[in-house]
Amino acid sequence: MTADANHDISFTLNPTAEPVAAARRAELMANPGFGRVFTDHMVTIAWTAEVGWHDAQLRPFGALSLSPATHVFHYGQEIFEGLKAYRQAGGPIAVFRPVANAARLISSARRMAMPELPEDVFIQAVELLVTLDRDWVPTASEQSLYLRPFMIATHVGLSVSHPSSSFLFVVIASPAGAYFPGGLRPVSVWLADGYIRAAAGGTGAAKTGGNYAGGWIGQLQATEHGCEQVVWLDAAEHRWVEELGGMNLFFVFGADRDARIVTPPLTGTLLPGVIRDSILTLAADLGIPASEEPISVDQWRAGCESGEITEVFASGTAAVITPVGEVKGSAGGWPVGSEPGPVTMRLRDQLLGIQFGQLPDPHGWMHKIC
Ligand code: COI
């Protein structure tokens, strides 16, 4: 199901007759948290094997009406993305690296036997929603409009002889503050015990709901042990660090001028994070050596104990850059750091500075919308 070479999509505009009143919107946006508040509109685009992408609409945010026999409810054929729009210094609204998210949606679609939404249609959908719902882009510091594009299998029937022959692509938007309640602070992580997230040849590199569904058990273990996130280890040896429940991981070796950062390589079982990729680029810009190298749990522990590992942080669209303060596991735990470290903060400030338009954007990452 490759991208249609000739994708002349025009959007029908059906804006809501009852947008949320300004005063109520301000109330909702005062403390939005993450993923709790939604804007007035959404975009939907249908796909069928016969017609391809069609019926693109900007319409009121609201329930989707689907038969209980719809494929996605039974066989989980679903992919999604996460990206953010920022109100930049001086007024314009800009989205961070939408082309990278559009490309990752295509690669997830390939893995999940779903149709590829052309990049320019993805960008158009995002532009349209952000433009119509621009009053929902927060003005408060470190807040943004989180965009959640997703695609579901809409074929009605229970046979598993063939993947769905119809799909719906949707984009919804949600004003968002800090992902972890309490703002910027080190979080604690739990080493998954007895479960794995992804194995070679599986769906680990695709952003598909099933990876998160299968991960809830690890997240529950983490919560039971007082931790905020689960750390997934490799499937073969249960030894190599892969990623967190919803973020990639970075390790800072050394300090000051000798600091370098390391993140696990994309072996096919990890999610290729857009923020992960951006951090590798920003580190080079800042003169911080960065590499993709396997790191084991034993190295992590020994590195923290010896002082060789000075900081650890998580990266993701929702979580931005969040320091890791403590590791726990069934064989014991160890502290990493009680405060956000200097390398973590340098990279975080650089990233947020570009996103909020306070620093130059040397890589052309910010896609200005309105
Ligand atoms: C994102 O960071 O956009 C994600 O999709 C991860 C999820 C934990 C919110």
Residue tagged 């969040």 (tokens):
322
Tell whether 15 and 103 lie within a shared domain.
yes
Q: Are strands 229-233 and 241-244 parallel, antiparallel or unpaired?
A: antiparallel
Ligand 1 centre to CA of 247 (Å) is 7
Residue 136 lies in a domain: yes
Tell whether 95 and 202 lie within a shared domain.
no
Check pocket membership of 340 for ligand 1, CB cut-off 6 A. Answer: no
Q: What is the mean pLDDT of residues 242-258?
A: 97
Under DSSP, the state recorded for 157 is: -
Query: From the alpha carbon of 317, which atom of ligand 1 is closest?
Result: 2
Which pair of structure tokens corresponds to residue 125?
Answer: 């959908």
Which pair of structure tokens corresponds to residue 170?
Answer: 């949707």
Q: Whose CA is nearest to atom 3 of ligand 1?
A: 82
Ligand 1 centre to CA of 318 (Å) is 5
CATH number of the domain encompassing residue 37: 3.30.470.10
The model's confidence at residue 182, banded by pLDDT at 50, 70 and 90, is confident
Tell whether 94 and 74 lie within a shared domain.
yes
For residue 305, the number of C-alpha atoms closer than 13 Å in the C-beta half-sphere is 8
Check pocket membership of 318 for ligand 1, CB cut-off 6 A. Answer: yes
Mutate to test the pocket of ligand 1, among 197, 248, 317, 321 (most ligand atoms within 8 A of CB): 317
Number of domains the chain is built from? 2
The model's confidence at residue 6, banded by pLDDT at 50, 70 and 90, is very low
Q: Residue 1 pLDDT more than 60?
A: no
Residue 363 lies in a domain: no
Q: What are phi and psi of 215, to 5 degrees?
A: -90, -15
CA distance 64 to 286: 46
% pLDDT > 70, the chain = 98
The model's confidence at residue 115, banded by pLDDT at 50, 70 and 90, is very high
CA distance 258 to 140: 35
Q: Whose CA is nearest to atom 6 of ligand 1?
A: 246
CATH number of the domain encompassing residue 257: 3.20.10.10
Tell whether 171 and 198 lie within a shared domain.
no
Instruction: Give the residue with greater pLDDT, 85 vs 140.
Output: 85
Residue 370 lies in a domain: no
Check pocket membership of 329 for ligand 1, CB cut-off 6 A. Answer: no
Tell whether 195 and 263 lie within a shared domain.
yes
Strand partners, 145: 85, 175
Q: Whose CA is nearest to atom 7 of ligand 1?
A: 246
Total-model pTM: 0.96
Tell whether 201 and 291 lie within a shared domain.
yes
Q: What is the mean pLDDT of residues 148-168?
A: 96
CA distance 220 to 110: 30
Residue 191 lies in a domain: yes
Ligand 1 centre to CA of 231 (Å) is 15
Which pair of structure tokens corresponds to residue 20?
Answer: 């949320």
Residue 140 lies in a domain: yes
Check pocket membership of 101 for ligand 1, CB cut-off 6 A. Answer: no
| pLDDT of the residue at 7 | 61
Tell whether 138 and 280 lie within a shared domain.
no
Residue 5 lies in a domain: no
Which pair of structure tokens corresponds to residue 271?
Answer: 């999610």
Tell whether 230 and 345 lie within a shared domain.
yes
Tell whether 199 and 287 lie within a shared domain.
yes
Tell whether 97 and 219 lie within a shared domain.
no
For residue 324, the number of C-alpha atoms closer than 13 Å in the C-beta half-sphere is 32
The model's confidence at residue 90, banded by pLDDT at 50, 70 and 90, is confident
Check pocket membership of 263 for ligand 1, CB cut-off 6 A. Answer: no
Tell whether 194 and 119 lie within a shared domain.
no
Q: What is the mean pLDDT of residues 251-265?
A: 97
Q: Diameter of the chain by CA atoms?
A: 62
Residue 362 lies in a domain: no
Last residue of a domain, one of 176, 207, 240: 176
Last residue of a domain, one of 176, 195, 211: 176
Query: How much helix, strand and coil, in percent to the nearest 5, is found in the chain?
Result: 25, 30, 45
Q: What is the mean pLDDT of residues 352-358?
A: 97
Question: Which domain, by its residues, includes 243?
Answer: 187-355
| pLDDT of the residue at 5 | 47
Last residue of a domain, one of 176, 201, 223: 176
Check pocket membership of 152 for ligand 1, CB cut-off 6 A. Answer: no
Ligand 1 centre to CA of 172 (Å) is 14
Ligand 1 centre to CA of 27 (Å) is 25
Residue 145 lies in a domain: yes
Which pair of structure tokens corresponds to residue 331?
Answer: 């064989």
- Mean pLDDT score of the chain: 96
Mutate to test the pocket of ligand 1, among 105, 247, 270 (most ligand atoms within 8 A of CB): 247
Ligand 1 centre to CA of 273 (Å) is 10
Nearest to 243 by CA among 204, 195, 291, 201: 204
Tell whether 143 and 207 lie within a shared domain.
no
